[in-house]
Structure 1
């Protein structure tokens, strides 16, 4: 990694953003530095992680007793596309090779299967085995750019209704309001990501 690439990666990891983006968990930031991750990937992971943090904050307030591993959601959002280190072409084009590659990459760096799984599951929310944590990571990965996916949101609404004992329509209205608010900041997040190159 050249000095310029390292500097761009550091800026992607540390620049405040507008509106401000939370930093990635230190263990993830260190992993991205070790891997020499593309600066744009680091910026993208920060944007999705920040949305996931807002989702989990909302969930904690609305369903304080729900059995949700908030830390797993944040880690999953922060690493969901880490496989694009090995498949940088998927930063600017379609492809799913990064999903399994990302899980395997995390496993090879000592992360547990329970946390590494998000790299492989973030695009497969229709699988019957997905958890609320998987659904939250998948939702963050869509709403960061204001993309609404009805099937994904319906699934999350059903899980939230079951967890909170409310009617699905009540959960839908509350979630829709939140996602609309989060989506309003998408242009700023997209601009932050676009400010960083795919290659250093």
Structure 2
């Protein structure tokens, strides 16, 4: 099987349980970049979890305004810089973050959309948006990882708008993230089925 065939499979295979497809413009970009199939699978998984988080937040706290489409695009492209720094697919590194933003800008995506590639690991920076927090959370919980500092920031945003007690919001978010974490083993297996 060629890398191109493997990339097509990573982008198009439904998965079990089903994994949502990436937005067409992102799938097209990944094909044009000849992205590593494992990266495409990873981006689909984080995008899928981001859909779940965004849908939950919209229903739970409708007063908290955020751009759902920006969250989904950000999740679908957050690691695109790993096409430039493929060693970071299997090892540590952050060079892919500014590289991803630059790559998206070079391909005609605006700065508002490209920012997620550079900010998905910077949730504690001043001025981080709710959209960026959701992308960061999806990028952690897809594999069952929980980050207290990140979750506290999300809880704070919800409390500001909802007027609920912090502990109530914590319990709700914990339930959602815990449920998403339960699917981590299947998601990790889906990703691992594709070559780097």
Band of TM-score, shorter chain? over 0.9
Instruction: Give the SS at the match of 1:117.
Output: helix
Q: CA offset at residue 119 of structure 1?
A: 0.2
State the Cα deviation string for residues 34-76 of structure 1 (Å, max 9, x = none). Answer: 0000000000000000000000110111112321100000000
Which of the numbers 36, 39, 58 marks the counterpart of 2:37?
A: 39
Q: How far apart are the structure 1 equivalents of 2:120 and 2:178?
A: 21
Instruction: Give the SS at the match of 1:21.
Output: coil
Q: Tell me what 2:132 maps to.
A: 134
How many residues matched? 196
Q: Tell me what 1:115 maps to.
A: 113
Q: Tell me what 2:88 maps to.
A: 90
Q: Tell me what 2:157 maps to.
A: 159
Q: Tell me what 2:8 maps to.
A: 10
Q: CA offset at residue 166 of structure 1?
A: 1.5
Q: Tell me what 2:191 maps to.
A: 193
Q: Tell me what 1:178 maps to.
A: 176
Q: How far apart are the structure 1 equivalents of 2:159 and 2:114?
A: 27
Q: Tell me what 2:50 maps to.
A: 52
TM-score normalised according to structure 1 size: 0.96
Q: How far apart are the structure 1 equivalents of 2:72 and 2:163?
A: 25
State the Cα deviation string for residues 65-88 of structure 1 (Å, max 9, x = none). Answer: 321100000000000000000001
Q: Tell me what 1:124 maps to.
A: 122
Moved over 3 A (4+): none
Q: Tell me what 1:61 maps to.
A: 59
Instruction: Give the SS at the match of 2:2.
Output: helix
TM-score normalised according to structure 2 size: 0.98
Paired residues for 1:69-88 under 5 Å:
69-88=67-86
Q: How far apart are the structure 2 equivalents of 1:158 and 1:100?
A: 28
Q: CA offset at residue 18 of structure 1?
A: 1.6
Q: CA offset at residue 163 of structure 1?
A: 2.3
State the Cα deviation string for residues 84-117 of structure 1 (Å, max 9, x = none). Answer: 0000100000000000000000000000100000
Query: Structure 1 unaligned runs (5+)?
Result: none
